[in-house]
Amino acid sequence: MKDALRKKYIPMTETIYYTLLALTIPRHGYAIMQYVSTLTKGRIILGTGTLYTMVGRLTADGIIVTLPGHERKTYGLTDVGMELLKEETGRLEKQLADGRKVLIGGVETVQNI
């Protein structure tokens, strides 16, 4: 993967992260919006303007592609998109682990590591 894409997309915004999660299987725009809303229990609601602007950027950067042979315009992840999604998930896991260390064990615990 190109370093320029990594710099552009890591760390990811929540909307990009959840859109890429939605596209681990092919989906059309409305299905992406529904999936993200359901997965986040309504915490993230993608508007059509936000979604299609983002989809245009992600497509132009080769992170997602439009898939042929579907009745509706359907999108899927490229290998680069999957690689970015996995990298961001790992980064978030490390961030969460660090937060838990501090909140559960206190700052002193981290200083003694």
- Measured CA distances, 48 to 1, 58, 61 (Å): 29, 15, 20
Contact between residue 6 and residue 62 where contact means Cβ atoms under 8 Å apart = no
Residues of the chain with pLDDT under 50: none
Using DSSP, state whether 45 is helix, strand or coil.
coil
The one-letter code for the residue type at 38 is: T
**Amino acid 105: pLDDT:** 80
**Amino acid 33: pLDDT:** 98
Range of the domain at 72: 3-111
- Predicted structure pTM score: 0.90
- H/E stretch holding 79 reads helix 79-111
**Amino acid 108: pLDDT:** 64
Cis peptide before 68 (omega within 30 of 0): no
**Looking at residue 9, which CATH number applies to its domain?**
1.10.10.10
Domain count, the chain: 1
**Residue located via tokens 């303007």:** 49
